[in-house]
Amino acid sequence: MSDATAPDLPDSAATPDYVGVVKFLLEPFLESPASLKVDCEVLPRNSRVLVRVAFDGEDRGRVYGRGGRNIQAIRTVLQGIARASGYSLHLDVFGGQPAGRDEGGREAPVDRRSGSAKPMPRRSRPR
């Protein structure tokens, strides 16, 4: 009988391909997949993985999904992969100026009937 030990794997095989997984999960939601930018930083000292993604602002609604369900599912998958390797993962999402924001970066109110952002009149404070 021979000793059935696993062959030594190179260190790169121990680290999951987070960039590939993120692209696989996000590209179907994007109108222009070429706009997707993914940055991954593995911090072995802290046992953390930082993943940053950026894409066009128009795709933000599809990526997040209703109530944030899509992005939460993507985070859960990535955290599970990281946890299996003994790491914790943090996902940051960056995008262009999303619809519903004004020039100052503040969220503009959205008319629920039409779905478009409309300026709201200023209200005076009660005294």
The whole-angstrom separation of Cα 105 and Cα 84 is 38
The per-residue pLDDT of the chain, averaged, comes to: 78
The pLDDT assigned to 15 comes to 84
The pLDDT assigned to 124 comes to 62
- In 10 A of CB 103, how many CB atoms? 7
- Which of the four pLDDT bands, split at 50, 70 and 90, describes residue 119? low
This prediction's pTM: 0.64
What is the per-residue DSSP string for 31-84? SSGGG-EEEEEEETTTTEEEEEEEE-GGGHHHHH-GGGHHHHHHHHHHHHHHHH
| Longest CA pairwise span in the chain (Å) | 89
Structural domains of the chain, with CATH: 25-45+52-95 (3.30.300)
User: Of 4-8, 11-15, 107-111, 116-120, where does the model show the most confidence?
Assistant: 11-15
